Chain A
Amino acid sequence: MSNETNTRLQAKFNEGVTEVKALIKHPMETGQTKDLETGKLIPAHFIEEIRCEYNDEVVMSAQWGVGISANPYLAFQFEGGKIGDKVKLTWKDNQGQTETTVTEIIPK
């Protein structure tokens, strides 16, 4: 995964509020699904933790289970933000893979 990016991140500022949207390419396997060809269970593989920082301040952190859909989508808002400032999103899954994505806040 090292050279690929699996996260699409966007932060838009409007009337004092920054809205962050993220779409992550991830299977979110529950560990309960059978591989139809081999008949064996596909191992659990899901994002456990996700965090969003604005100027090094954590504005949202979440813990997820297997009940979040594959290719997770998340939107949330925080007060403040400035066009051109950086928003950073980091996630880590149960197999230890992690990814950090940074974007600049743009006007809505």
Chain B
Amino acid sequence: MITSRRNFLKNTLSSAIVLITSTAILSQRVLADWSKMAFTAKNTEEALMALFNDSDATVSDKITIVSPEIAENGKVVPVEVKVDLPRVESITLFSEKNPVPLLAQFNFTGGRAKGWIKTRIKMAETGKVIAVVKADSKLYQASREIKVTVGGCGG
């Protein structure tokens, strides 16, 4: 009844979804360059400088981060970012206490994508998750504290 993730492959193969796989090396034209500098930055300012040449992002209540109050598993923390700003160009996610604070940058080229993503992140310890949004050429940000704890002793 409940499908385990271990059965994931089997389910994928038997599903009706059309799948074509390719091992071709991708051209650099279509994939954005991976920013080594941003991903080796030790804090959010450095990473923002590397990504945007700017680290000044305005706090905005138009950005909502949806996540649990306490992570059920620090290695898999579901995060949803909703942006209610026009012309969203990118959403960049940080976990301030991680050894590598920059988690990911989602670029919405072509202007079709909505300002919305859902993903799952790793968190080393209790701290802020920060979403920096570039919209209409300006940087905005919002953050949310998520507690990461040892488990056990549940009454």
- Which chain A residues have a beta carbon within 8 Å of chain B's beta carbons? 1-10, 17, 23, 25, 28, 30, 32, 48-49, 51, 53-54, 57-80, 90, 92, 96-104
Q: How far is the CA of A73 from the CA of B5 in the complex (A)?
A: 12
Q: How far is the CA of A96 from the CA of B89 in the complex (A)?
A: 27
By the criterion of a CB under 8 Å from any partner CB, how many residues of chain B are at the interface? Answer: 53
User: Which residues of chain A are near B21, meaning CB under 8 Å?
Assistant: 2-5, 7, 99-101
Query: Is A51 a contact of B122 with CB atoms below 8 Å?
Result: no
- What residue in chain B is nearest A17 (Cβ atoms)? B114
CB of B102 closer than 8 Å to a CB of A? yes
Query: Is B102 a contact of A67 with CB atoms below 8 Å?
Result: yes
How close is B72's CB to chain A, nearest CB, in angstroms? 12
Q: How far is the CA of A98 from the CA of B34 in the complex (A)?
A: 14
Contact of B112 among A63, A72, A79 (CB under 8 A): A79
Known: A75-B118, A77-B116. A49 touches B19 (CB 8 A): no
How close is B99's CB to chain A, nearest CB, in angstroms? 7
User: Which residues of chain A are near B20, meaning CB under 8 Å?
Assistant: 100-102
Query: Is B95 a contact of A54 with CB atoms below 8 Å?
Result: no
List the one stretch of B9-17, B62-70, B130-138, B143-151 in contact with chain A.
Answer: B9-17
Contact of B32 among A7, A61, A68, A74 (CB under 8 A): A61
User: Which residues of chain A are near B100, meaning CB under 8 Å?
Assistant: 30, 65-67
Q: How far is the CA of A66 from the CA of B98 in the complex (A)?
A: 10
26 contacts between A and B (CB under 8 A): A1-B23, A2-B21, A2-B23, A4-B9, A7-B21, A8-B17, A48-B34, A53-B30, A58-B30, A59-B113, A61-B30, A61-B107, A61-B109, A63-B32, A63-B38, A66-B122, A67-B95, A69-B75, A69-B77, A76-B116, A77-B114, A79-B112, A98-B23, A98-B25, A103-B17, A103-B19
CB of B103 closer than 8 Å to a CB of A? yes
Query: Is B117 a contact of A51 with CB atoms below 8 Å?
Result: no
Contact of A69 among B9, B31, B114, B120 (CB under 8 A): B120
